[in-house]
Structure 1
Amino acid sequence: MDIWIIEDEQLAASRMAKMLQQAAPQATIGAIYATVADTVAALKQRQPDLLVMDIHLADGNSFHVFTQVDVRCPIIFTTAYDEYAIDAFKLNSIDYLLKPVKESELQAAMDKYKRLYQQPTAAVPDWTSLLQAMQPTAKTYKQRFAVRYGEHLKTVDTSAVAYCYTENKASYLITHDNKRYIVDYNMDELEAALDPRRFFRINRQFIISVESIAEMLTYTKARVLIKLNPPTKLETIVSSERAAAFKQWLDDSPAV
């Protein structure tokens, strides 16, 4: 059995490879791809027996793979978010696993794959419902946050947020007038809640608004150094894995 891992985080890909080797010792990890572009190019050449695919990749949403190539193999989806059309995935894919993926859940997904697809009469997956679920919807994003302010609570409109960051396991909002508020959300939750037309996660620590960018400088290995307004003493560099998607976001976002 040939399995491909589609995952843009190197540590997550390595962990998944080890888990798959335990869940299916007879399988071979044929390839690991980190981008939509590389995945599409590879699938046009040949297709594996099974894909284990993260939904968020370095250059965009992995759903875009389905609009560029006819995927004929079954898929186990993985993601840090639970906001997607789970029913459609359950119908058309092997499983939908939330990160961090548990060994028992992966084992159950592999057992399901064997029951459904390692049979002489195994059917080719039909991705129609998944493609329909991908159609744009009028998703609403967070309009304001309830924050702690001394002994009080107050609300902060997302339009006032310049950027968010995490430090010492706490998450903070920084407003355009340079006020800092702690919030009860982790960075994954903030990324999912904020409108991606205005906000972009440049690395594991920072989510920035397009309005907060004061200056951008080229950095090593195609990375970009961001100078923010209000300024911060923390390092604000777009990770190499997110650099291509960041540049695309700048093209799609309002002018800086």
Structure 2
Amino acid sequence: MKVLIIEDEDLAVAKLKRSLLSIKKDIEIVGVTDSVESSVAWLESNPAPDIILADIELVDGQSFEIFNRTEVTSTVIFTTSYDEYALKAFKVNSVDYLLKPVQKEELEVALNKFSNWIEKPRTSQTIDPIVVNVENLAAQLQERLHVKDYRKRFLVKSVQKLVSVNVDEIAYFYSDDKLNFFKTYSNKRYVVDYTMDELETMLKPQDFYRISRSFFVAPDSLEQISDYFGHRLALKLKPDHDKEVIVSREKVTDFKNWLGK
């Protein structure tokens, strides 16, 4: 069994080597790389190993980038310090994960999983788990691991004071006369010192929807939704807004889907 180790911590490499060599006598560690660049170079200039043990966080990025840049047909076992809850749904045939520090017993289970598979009788109907699309699986894992830290509050000016307003107090954001504002459910209005595009990166998509270039709404701010000419929608908000609030035509379908989630 040929194994490539992708790991940038010397102590972790040493421990993996010891564990691997003590688990199976036929294991051959064919290479050790410590970065995305060196891993891609190794994979493109050497025969594919049977197993790749890959740490997620490397010195020059995440190991997922490796699978975007070169074809990988080996079984992949990710090693990671991320919370197990985030990874529970990710065990599939050709991709596994181990939490760091990697325990010899858990590594042995993962290797046995691979050994048992290659020893099974093959038929023409057998789906080869080693050629599962690693890129897609890595993208799924990456999505689970990276929960964006959205804005929880805004610091705004009120008369001569600064006030911190929690996001869950905000009903909607809007532009008016080259300034951007938000209005709270208690009907207080504040100027916010961010562009609408900047706000889009700060607001959790489940909590606010950008219905047009100049307006974000929260679900609880919607008092009434009505059809409007031009295949658009008109919104009545709470607290009330003094101008028409329209969902642009190209946003209508997505807006309805957002409300239904």
| TM-score of the superposed pair, with normalisation by structure 2 | 0.49
Higher RCO structure, 1 or 2 (CA under 8 Å, sep 6+): 1
Q: Larger Rg: 1 or 2?
A: 2
TM-score by length of 1: 0.50
